[in-house]
Copies of this chain bind each other. A is one copy, B any other.
């Protein structure tokens, strides 16, 4: 499946597919859906924490439509969702039409899958793709700037990068601030409060090659960590690795 519309049609038909590598060259997005009463806190949380929460679009309350893919339906077109009640995981359905009300606002947040294509184009190997695994993600000891009732730790994704290519990886991703931008940290996981790289909090462990250095980027799972910490009565998100595939080319996020 090479077009975003094909991927979304497959999801709508009930296929449950991790989206890494699908519709290459098109932007993928994290999803967070909250009641209108919590939407202001989420919007402010994003404004105050733009590196982990780069907003690509926010829907009108009740609408399942987004400017990122005008023919898509956010209630059916992701492969798998997570439903949260009072900050606890309450289900992982493949369709949320029965849960959608006129009170819900959807936030679409940039995803680092988008810059993986740019890294590969620049000759930087992406170990999680080579190994066919989800990227490793970790809660850090760095708090996000709180917004109203929402607070929580910065979550990072980690990619092992050959030491001589770290400067390239920094420069390539710095040009893409809408999908997390430059790394937040290089090389010393303990100073982020990460005790064991082999035990990620989200996603899969990824093996480093000899000479690889761990490079950490702000991660779009940060809002999920804030939901778990702040416990809104109801929320829907994508399931990790099961992103919304948009019609927006990756290149739209690369600045000159």
Seen from chain A, the residues whose Cβ lies within 8 Å of a Cβ on chain B are 39-40, 43-44, 46-48, 55, 58, 60, 148, 174, 255-256
Chosen A-B contacts, 15 in total, with CB atoms closer than 8 Å, are A39-B40, A40-B40, A40-B43, A43-B43, A43-B44, A43-B47, A44-B58, A46-B47, A47-B47, A47-B55, A47-B58, A48-B58, A60-B148, A174-B255, A174-B256
In the bound complex, residues from chain B placing their C-beta under 8 Å from that of A58 are 44, 47-48
Interchain CA distance A188-B60 in the complex, whole Å: 34
In the bound complex, residues from chain B placing their C-beta under 8 Å from that of A55 are 47
In the bound complex, residues from chain B placing their C-beta under 8 Å from that of A148 are 60
Interchain CA distance A40-B34 in the complex, whole Å: 14
- Per assembly, the copies of the chain total 2
Chain B nearest CB from A34 CB (Å) reads: 12
What 4 A-B pairs have minimum CB-CB distances, sorted nearest first? A40-B40, A43-B43, A47-B55, A47-B58
Task: Knowing that A40-B40, A60-B148, A174-B255 touch, tell me 12 more A-B residue pairs with CB under 8 angstroms.
Answer: A39-B40, A40-B43, A43-B43, A43-B44, A43-B47, A44-B58, A46-B47, A47-B47, A47-B55, A47-B58, A48-B58, A174-B256
Question: Which partner residue on chain B sits nearest A43 by CB separation?
Answer: B43
- Residue of A39, A47, A55, A174 with most chain B CB atoms under a 10 A cut-off: A47
Interchain CA distance A60-B44 in the complex, whole Å: 9
Interchain CA distance A43-B46 in the complex, whole Å: 10
In the bound complex, residues from chain B placing their C-beta under 8 Å from that of A256 are 174
In the bound complex, residues from chain B placing their C-beta under 8 Å from that of A60 are 148
Chain B nearest CB from A33 CB (Å) reads: 15
Question: Which partner residue on chain B sits nearest A171 by CB separation?
Answer: B256
Chain B nearest CB from A252 CB (Å) reads: 14
